[in-house]
Structure 1
Amino acid sequence: MEELGKSVMAAVGSDPVWADMGLYMEGLNNELDRGAVLISSSYLEGRLGELLKRFLVAGTDSKALVDDFNAPFGTFSARIKGTHALGIISDTERDRLDWIRRIRNEFAHNLKANFSEQRISSLVKNMKPFDVQGKEIVMPLKMQFTVAAAQLVVSFNHRIGIVEQSRLKPVNWPAGS
């Protein structure tokens, strides 16, 4: 995993969106189950926040909706729902993110949580990572979780530039409308 993180960082150069991906992959190196889940869910939560900020009308109000204390899009759940409601993520991505969020909550609130627990393993099995031909990949649960999360990270990093091209624009409504 460490070599993958370094190769990602070397390939992306100075692009900050993709440089973060290399740091994310390096951060997963040698992590225990809890660390892999918390790092992945936190990183995905940040990517969703970035997608929202780059889609909403530019300015401090949009940033406040995502980043301020008690912000409407301040939680992982709200960011999942918000990006889905705005058409930024698909139904499948929303479902995977909800599974990741639920797995994160299991690890955050249960010190004995691990991928072999039935509740966690059934959530991970729902995420089914795919290879480039769309065939299901069979692998250990921790790796399955990490690959599914990384697939979302790659999709969202790519989508950030696309979403920005569709950024909402302010509308000057006529008086009385």
Structure 2
Amino acid sequence: MNDNPKVDIFSKFLKEFQDETDRGASIMAGSILDEKLKTILYDFLIDCKQTKDLIDGYGAPIGTFSSRLNLAFSLGLISEHEFQDCNTIRKIRNEFAHKFEMDFSFEDQKIKSLCWNLNAPTPRDKETFKDKPRLLFVNGVTMLYLNWLYREEYVSKRKLERPNWKGITWMTKE
């Protein structure tokens, strides 16, 4: 065991993730990235009940993977390439979640095409993954998660604080 709990959690995830079925791997990938986005957002937004209400619970406006992804990108908490890769992973997860064919896999042409859109490896590295869409997906999820492993520490340095609006009105001239 490593002395770093984040690395331990990721190592456990990676082992289980790689052993999963294609459907299970796609759903696990979406879940771990969604949770990471939630943590990043909590570490940036003002600590208050309203933030929790926005992010967690029934009917939370920022309670979905897609809405968290869009907000994190809009706030500058993730890069454009991270946003694009995460959106691709989300689409792959949705394909697996809504297809009920027993033989549906990473070999499906639509899934292969989506996997090929992942930016994590460099273009020359993509040749390593030729005709291995699941390996490309695992690599993309792994690289994205590793990019975000300590993101909350950096984000928390930019954490929003409630300004003191007392005495500042629309009538105040600068």
TM-score bracket for this pair, using the shorter chain length: 0.7 to 0.9
59 and 31 in structure 1: CA distance in 2 versus 1, 3 angstrom threshold: same
62 and 18 in structure 1: CA distance in 2 versus 1, 3 angstrom threshold: farther
- Percent identity, aligned pairs only? 29
**Which has the larger Rg?**
2
Total equivalences in the alignment: 164
TM-score (norm 2): 0.87
Asked if structure 2 preserves the Cα contact closer than 8 Å seen for 1:129 and 1:136, the reply is: no
Asked if structure 1 preserves the Cα contact closer than 8 Å seen for 2:18 and 2:138, the reply is: no
Shift of 1:64: 2.2
Shift of 1:130: 1.9
1:154 and 1:102 mapped to 2: Cα distance? 20
TM-score (norm 1): 0.85
Shift of 1:114: 1.2
1:168 and 1:135 mapped to 2: Cα distance? 40
Secondary structure, aligned partner of 1:39: helix
The residue number in structure 1 matching 2:120 is 129
Shift of 1:28: 1.1
Question: Gaps spanning 5+ residues in structure 1: where?
Answer: 1-9
Asked if structure 1 preserves the Cα contact closer than 8 Å seen for 2:81 and 2:119, the reply is: no
The residue number in structure 1 matching 2:47 is 58
Shift of 1:129: 3.2
Question: Gaps spanning 5+ residues in structure 2: where?
Answer: none
Give the CA RMSD over aligned residues.
Answer: 1.7
- Alignment counterpart, residue 111 of structure 2, candidates 115, 120, 145: 120
What does the per-residue CA deviation read over 1:132-155, in whole Å, with 9 as the maximum and x for residues that have no partner?
xx8424221111101101111111
2:119 and 2:75 mapped to 1: Cα distance? 25
- The letter of the residue matching 1:126 is N
Asked if structure 2 preserves the Cα contact closer than 8 Å seen for 1:128 and 1:136, the reply is: no
Runs of at least 4 residues off by over 6 Å? none
The residue number in structure 1 matching 2:8 is 19
What does the per-residue CA deviation read over 1:103-138, in whole Å, with 9 as the maximum and x for residues that have no partner?
11100000233111111110000104326xx84242
